[in-house]
Amino acid sequence: MSEIETLIAVLGTLGGTLGGLVLGYVLDERREANRLRRETALKPLEEKQSAFRDAYHKLIDLVFALNKLSPGQAGGTPLKEKLDNFGAAIGLVII
């Protein structure tokens, strides 16, 4: 084999290996997304409704806290607590 043919063979082997790795990664990510979608869809309706209700109440608390603030008070501790509570409630809805 000449040097050019050897180079082509090596590049073909590397390309095939990298392509296989990328394809495997993409398929694994897709499988995981489908699994999460399936688990979420199979949750009992009561669990979903209570999670959405909790997120809604946290959002209302957050809106009221924002309405009470003056423009210069954006860094208040109660607001941070309300934001954290709302973020946690949204996390429960998604999971």
Q: Which two tokens stand for residue 33?
A: 């997304």
pLDDT for res 74:
53
Read out DSSP for 50-89?
HHHHHHHHHHHHHHHHHHH--TT-TT-HHHHHHHHHHHHH
Average pLDDT, the chain: 77
Q: How far is CA 87 from CA 39, 82, 92, in A?
A: 21, 9, 9
Encode pLDDT of 72-85 as tens digits. 555 556 667 777 77
Where in the chain are the domains? 1-42, 44-95
Residue 71: pLDDT over 60: no
Encode pLDDT of 26-58 as tens digits. 888 888 888 888 877 777 778 778 888 888 888
CA distance 16 to 41: 37
pLDDT for res 95:
54
85 and 58 Cβ atoms separated by less than 8 Å: yes
- Give the torsion sign (CA, 8, 14, 15, 16): positive
